[in-house]
A and B are shown apart, each in its own frame.
Chain A
Amino acid sequence: MLKLSEPIYNALRKHGEETYPHECCGVLLGRSENDVNTVEDAMRAGNTRTDAAHNRYHIAPQELIKIQRQGRERGLDIVGFYHSHPDHPAQWSKTDFAEAHWLGCSYVITAVTNGVAQQTNSFLLTGTNEDDKSFEDEAIQVEELVTGRC
């Protein structure tokens, strides 16, 4: 299961609307425990695939290292990634699968149609290596922030 707050959920969907008709991408920082990836922050990343940004994304390793370092300073790990599918369903593609190497991490995809975010789905990359890896549908639990009362 993927757990995230409503503001984070809304932020990653909004990112896809902002970059439309290009794909957005980002990194999910949080904690992974008992088969639950809990997201504490969503970090926007640049899409280096400027040659085909309408249907491809790639995050520069330097940016990943920087985000990983920022997470470590806050006691957080990389637990997943997100990207958008402009005018395409929120379903993983052959390219998504071939390029997925972070076993145990959540891959979140938001379909954006005519600039408006539609369905958001998450897929957990399971398996022990490149030969037996697979994407499994993963439930998303969006939690409302509870504010204190005076």
Chain B
Amino acid sequence: MKIFIPTPLRVYVDKQDAVQVEAGTVGQALNALTTQHPDLKKHLYSDEGKLRAFVNVYLNDEDVRYLPEKEATTVTDADSLSIIPSIAGGC
């Protein structure tokens, strides 16, 4: 499956906008991604190993945090994951 990488994190994946991985679940896909590109890990996960609060991971158009099985959700090659940091602020 394909994992789409946002602009700021492409420097850690050889400047690719997407990375192809073999995986059966969302968690396996993310694990494969950070195994292929270890420098990416600290930008996605806290020291406690949890996905950083501002990092959103979407399976197709669904927020993985709100899927019943979360990272254990099964995936196929036709699915795609998007990593998308949040954007917010205000005066």
Contact = CB atoms under 8 A, between A and B. Distances in A.
Chains A and B come from one and the same complex: yes
Given A68-B4, A78-B6, A105-B7, A88 B91 contact: yes
Contacts of A93: 89-91
Nearest to A61: B56
Interface residues of A, number: 42
Contacts, number: 93
Interface stretch (A5-13, A49-57, A136-144): A49-57
A99 B86 contact: yes
A105 B8 contact: yes
Interface residues of B, number: 23
Contacts of A65: 58, 61, 82, 84
A116 interface: no
A77 B85 contact: no
Contact of B43 (A56, A59, A129): A129
Contact of A85 (B6, B17, B56, B91): B91
27 contacts: A23-B90, A25-B87, A27-B87, A55-B90, A56-B89, A57-B88, A57-B89, A59-B88, A61-B58, A61-B84, A65-B82, A68-B84, A77-B7, A77-B17, A78-B7, A86-B91, A89-B91, A95-B89, A95-B91, A98-B89, A99-B88, A100-B89, A102-B6, A102-B8, A102-B85, A105-B8, A129-B43
Closest 7 CB pairs of A and B: A56-B90, A96-B89, A88-B91, A58-B88, A101-B85, A85-B91, A99-B88
